[in-house]
Copies of this chain bind each other. A is one copy, B any other.
Amino acid sequence: MTQRHALAIHGGAGTIRRDNMDAATEEAFHEGLRASLRAGHAVLEQGGSALDAVTAAVMALEDNPLFNAGRGAVFTAGGTQEMDAAVMRGEDRGAGAVAGLFGPRNPVLAARAVMERTEHVLLIGEAARAFAASQGIPFASTEYFHTDSRWAALQAELARRSAAAPDMRDDAAKHGTVGAVARDRHGNLAAATSTGGMTGKMPGRVGDSPVIGAGTWADNATCAVSATGHGEYFIRWAAAHDIAARMRYLGETLDAAATHVVDELGKRGGSGGLIAIDREGRISLPFNCAGMYRGLIGTDGVPHTGIYRTPLRP
């Protein structure tokens, strides 16, 4: 049992509309998820740490323009890009996060540097950027982060607002997030989350991703969690920490606790989902909306991925 390792990932949740999705695009999402799973699994298989595995898995998603994080980050109402990320380590509840960051190719690396190289947990804005630069974290150009489809999405959203038209967008695209949770061979847990936020968001708005206890949590005693969805609700319900609290204080299983929290959020109007893993490597992937880009991989190395409310496929 102690040799067992496992990894789960997500690439955002929401009303993923099938009518916006052709077969080639759908396959590209599955392939992006599989690439992330393989990257994290390779770390775990070599005996690496859960923290290294979630970092690798999230970096693969940040590098893929299909997902709203890193390269594929959406644009704010001001035409800028502002990224948030967090990591947490289950052994000691070490945590690091950045918010309102533009520059590093992989914001998750900036979050990890905050955890590992400062006495702080959360750095924001220009200061987070300067810190990342001082640590030698690779930066990318404005062109690297410019995705035509994201720019078009912002223009469409600004036009919609001018016309006061109803919002028919796919909300997995407009406020997507990526994340990973893992359990390594040593029994340690870790979580990582990264996002570009919401298309057309007010600059300076920060959601749940970098809020420890809301969008990201890891504690070896209970679970590791990474959330995606309507971030304000996940903050107001301390969603990730509430799952850990239900396990610790009520003795609930991971799946019971995670499902309860996601269902309660749904009842309150907080659409979204999350990925969670416990100290035995059990995984739960609940969501209260049409779909969640998600996947998992165990010791056998076979990636399983899914988008809609249908069984994961190898």
Contact = CB atoms under 8 A, between A and B. Distances in A.
A56 to B, nearest CB: 23
Nearest to A118: B202
Interface string A116-137: 0011111111111011000000
A266 B127 CA distance: 30
A306 B136 CA distance: 48
Number of copies: 2
A95 interface: yes
A74 B235 CA distance: 28
A250 interface: yes
Contact of A211 (B202, B212, B232): B212
Interface string A81-108: 0000000100001110001100000000
Nearest to A203: B127
Interface stretch (A37-45, A138-146, A158-166, A241-249): A241-249
A241 B235 contact: no
Contact of A249 (B88, B204, B245): B245
Interface string A206-218: 1100011110010
Interface in A148-164: none
A313 interface: no
A122 B211 contact: yes
A188 to B, nearest CB: 16
B213 A238 contact: yes
B93 A202 contact: no
A237 to B, nearest CB: 7
Contacts of A99: 99, 124, 206
A277 B207 CA distance: 27
Interface of A: 88, 93-95, 99-100, 118-128, 130-131, 202-207, 211-214, 217, 231-232, 235-238, 241-242, 245-246, 249-250
Contact of A94 (B212, B236, B250): B236
21 contacts: A99-B99, A100-B124, A120-B205, A120-B232, A121-B235, A122-B206, A122-B211, A123-B205, A123-B206, A127-B202, A131-B202, A211-B211, A211-B212, A212-B214, A213-B235, A213-B238, A241-B241, A242-B245, A245-B245, A245-B246, A245-B249
A50 to B, nearest CB: 17
A25 B210 CA distance: 40
User: Which 5 pairs between the two chains have the least Cβ-Cβ distance?
Assistant: A127-B204, A245-B245, A249-B249, A213-B238, A238-B241
A141 B291 CA distance: 50
A231 B232 CA distance: 21
A218 to B, nearest CB: 10
A124 B246 contact: no
